[in-house]
Structures are given as C-alpha cells and as structure tokens.
Amino acid sequence: MSNNNDWDYLVSVLPDNFNDKKIEYSEAVNWSHSNLSHKNVLKLTLEDVYLLDKKVLDIINTENNSMIGPFEDDWIHSREVQQNILNKLRIYISSCQIDREILILNEMIRLFEVAIKSNHFIYFLF
C-alpha cells in the first residue's frame, strides 16, 4: 500500500474464478491489491472513507452488524444482507448532494449488484 493515502482503501468483489467460501481471507486481500484496475475494485482515499462514514457506512454496519470504517476491514457474505444494503443505498443516493459521494455510491451500488448476481462476497479493505 502507498504512504500517500491514495487508493489504500478498497471495496471489491472477486471474479467468478474464485470461490469466496473456499479461499483464505488473505487471498481476497492480495487479489484486490494486485488488481487495482479491475472493474470489481473500487479504490478510495482516506478522505473518501471519511465522507462515507457519515451515513453510508452506518447503513452498511447496521445491516451487516459490523464496524466497517477507517482502518476496520470486513466482508459481507449474506445475499440477504447485501440486498438490504443495496436497497437502502439506492434510497440514500437520492438525497446526496456531494458529487464525489454520488460517484462512489454509484460504484458501490454496482459492486453490490455484481456480488448478488454472482453470489460473491463484497470486501471492504479499509
């Protein structure tokens, strides 16, 4: 990871050739950091994470019973939880007024859709 806070925080969904249930968590982390240009990897700065921390991460953490946030990794494996989060993010995005937040949310929504469709976990590597 870089020392300048650029792209140190990732949200990712592994490609179809991975089985999330049969790999080690470290393999998901390594793949995500080794494939930063992959369409299933959302790269965030620390400032982006703090922007999301105001409301978006509250939604995710409430639904997932987790503590995802700056310097706290986690993953979401339940399709039901993923769908609940996706539904709430779709509602929340309509109230957003910060362009960067809208851009990030659109990508997160897309990744949740990919995870649900492909039956994969979604990883928050913060």
Once rounded to an integer, what is the mean pLDDT over residues 55-80? 94
Give the pLDDT score at 6. Answer: 60
Give the pLDDT score at 8. Answer: 83
Mean pLDDT of the chain: 93
Task: Count other Cβ atoms within 10 Å, centred on residue 62.
Answer: 12
Tell me: domain 9-125, CATH 3.40.1760.20, correct?
yes
Domain boundaries, the chain: 9-125
Once rounded to an integer, what is the mean pLDDT over residues 20-30? 95
